[in-house]
Amino acid sequence: MSQTRPSNSAALPSKNDGNSQPQERPSALAAYRALGYSKVPYSAPLLRGKPVHASKALSNAPILSQLMELSRDSEQRLYAVKSLLPPQFRDVVKSSTLEGETWCLLVPNNSVMAKLKQMLPALAAHLRSKGFKVQTIRLKIEGK
């Protein structure tokens, strides 16, 4: 006769119809014991203290704060020139990097880039009239 030994596994109900036999799955403690641990290893909690809103955490870190400010400034520039863009381009043009007085826009394809290249002097002049310091606007195809 075979002997059954007690296990530290938890019986889980089957996902079928509820009438079949429960399936057995070893508990985490039994798995650690099988690996040679006498108790569960200590791990420090991942979060310490109170949760903080992401924008507050970004503003507390100096480098991330500068990055957030550049991103905000780039978005403000895009908002300022959206009224000058053709209606079909307003949703597809995205703001990108801002390096000194050079601003970069992301466009989805070459046809949009070709049309916007014709408008770059007017866009730069409009931004300067709104108080933004911009000398050149670069265009990049998104994803390249």
Please give, one letter per residue, the 3-state secondary structure of 52-121: CCHHHHHHHCHHHHHHHHHHHHHHHHHHHHHHHCCCCCCCCCEEEEEECCEEEEEECCHHHHHHHHHHHH
pLDDT value, residue 43: 60
Beta bridge partners of 107: 141
Q: What are the Cα distances from residue 123, in Å, to 93, 116, 133, 136?
A: 13, 9, 12, 10
Q: Which CATH number fits domain 54-141: 3.90.420.10, 3.40.1000.10, 3.30.465.10, 3.30.300.180?
A: 3.30.300.180
pLDDT value, residue 8: 47
Rounded CA separation 124/130 (Å): 10
CB neighbour class for 83 (10 Å; exposed up to 12, middle 13-18, buried from 19): exposed
Which residue is it, tokens 């420090």?
A: 44
Token pair belonging to 8: 């530290």
pLDDT value, residue 35: 78
Q: Which amino acid is at 94?
A: K
What are the b/e assignments for 33-52, b being 16+ CB within 10 Å?
A: eeeeeeeeeeeeeeeeeeee
Report the predicted TM-score, pTM, of the whole model to 2 decimal places. Answer: 0.59
Q: Are 47 and 63 within 8 A, CB to CB?
A: no
- Tens-binned pLDDT, residue by residue, of the chain (144 aa): 445 544 444 444 445 555 555 555 567 777 777 777 776 556 655 556 677 777 777 777 788 888 888 889 999 999 999 999 999 999 999 999 888 889 999 999 999 999 999 999 999 999 999 999 999 999 999 887
Token pair belonging to 126: 């409009």
DSSP 36: T
